[in-house]
Amino acid sequence: MEYAVASTLVKDVLERLSSEAIQEFGLLWGFKDDVLSLKNDFEQIEVVLQDAEDSHSKEKGVELWLKSLKSASFEVDNVLDEISTEAMMQHLDKERGIIHNVSTFFSSDRNPFMFHVRIGHKVKSIREKMDVIASKRFELRLTPLGSISTHVDVGVGGEMPDRETRSLIHDSWIIIGRTDDMKMIIDKICNKEVGKHENGEIRVYGIWGMGGVGKTTLAHLVYNHERVNNYFESKFWIYVSEKFNVKEILKGIIESIDRRECALPQLDMLQESLQFRLRGKRFLLVLDDVWIEESEKNQWDQLSETLSCGAEGSIVVMTARFQTTSQMMAKVPELQHKLECLSEEDSWLLFKKLAFAEGRKGDNISELEPIGREIVEKCKGLPLGVKIMGSLMWSKRSTRDWELVKGNIIWNLQENNILPALKLSYDNLLPYIKRCFAYCCLFPKGYDMEKDVLVSLWVSNGFTRANGEVDLYMLGEQVFDYLVWRSLISKVKKLARDRYILHDLMHDMARHVMGDDCLVLEPGKEVIIPNEVLHLSSSCPSLLFSPQDLEKLTSLRSIFMYGKMNEGSISQIFNHAYLRVLYLHGIRLKTLPESVYKLKHLKYLNVSHSGIEVISDSIICLQNLQALVLCSCQMLRELPESVCELKQLKYLDLSHSSIESLPESFIHLQNLQVLLLSFCSGLRKLPEGLRRMTNLRSLDINFCYSLMHLPLGIQKLTRLRILSLFRLGNSSGAKIGELGDLNLIEGALEIVPLESVGGFSEAKSANLKRKRNLQVLLLRWSGIRPTQTTKESFRVRHDEEVLEGLEPNPSLRELKIFFNMGKTVSPSWILSLTNLTEISFYTCKNCEHIPPLGRLPNLRVINLSYMDSLRSFHHDDKENMLPDTTDMFLCLQELHVYECPNLVCLPSNLPKLEVLKLQGCDGLLSLPEKIQSFKHLNKLVIFRCKHLSKRCEREIGEDWPEISHIPYIYQN
Count, in order, helices (H) and strands (E) of the chain: 30, 27
pLDDT in the model for residue 811: 95
pLDDT in the model for residue 142: 84
pLDDT at position 852 over 70: yes
pLDDT at position 616 over 90: yes
Question: What pLDDT digit, counting tens, does each position of 190-204 carry?
Answer: 998 888 888 888 999
pLDDT at position 150 over 60: no
pLDDT in the model for residue 3: 64
pLDDT at position 265 over 90: no
pLDDT in the model for residue 62: 86
pLDDT at position 880 over 60: no
pLDDT in the model for residue 891: 92
| CB atoms inside a 10 Å sphere around CB 236 | 20
Exposed, middle or buried: residue 256 (CB in 10 Å: 0-12, 13-18, 19+)?
A: middle
Question: What pLDDT digit, counting tens, does each position of 632-682 carry?
Answer: 999 999 999 999 999 999 999 999 999 999 998 999 999 999 999 999 999
pLDDT in the model for residue 56: 58
pLDDT at position 112 over 80: no
- Domain limits, the chain: 2-139, 178-338, 343-465+472-521, 856-865+889-972
CATH code for residues 178-338? 3.40.50.300
Question: What pLDDT digit, counting tens, does each position of 422-463 carry?
Answer: 989 998 898 889 999 999 999 998 888 989 999 999 999 988
pLDDT in the model for residue 883: 46
| CB atoms inside a 10 Å sphere around CB 835 | 16
Using an 8 Å Cβ cutoff, are 750 and 778 in contact? yes
pLDDT in the model for residue 828: 94
pLDDT band at 279 (very low <50, low <70, confident <90, very high): very high
Instruction: Give the DSSP H or E segment for 105.
Output: helix 102-105
Please give the sequence-ordered ranges of beta strands (E in DSSP) within 458-595, or none if there are none: 490-494, 497-501, 518-521, 535-538, 558-562, 581-585
pLDDT in the model for residue 51: 80
pLDDT in the model for residue 249: 92
Q: Which residues contact 494 (CB under 8 A, 6 or more apart)?
A: 220, 237, 448
Average pLDDT estimate for 700-721: 94
Q: What are the helix (H) ranges across 202-339? A: 215-223, 226-231, 246-258, 267-278, 297-307, 323-329
pLDDT in the model for residue 157: 53
Instruction: Give the DSSP H or E segment for 234.
Output: strand 234-241
Question: What pLDDT digit, counting tens, does each position of 221-253 carry?
Answer: 999 888 898 889 899 999 998 788 899 899 999
**Per residue in 79-114, is it b (16+ CB within 10 Å) or e — as a string?**
bbbbbbebebbeeeeeeeeeeeeeeeeeeeeeeeee
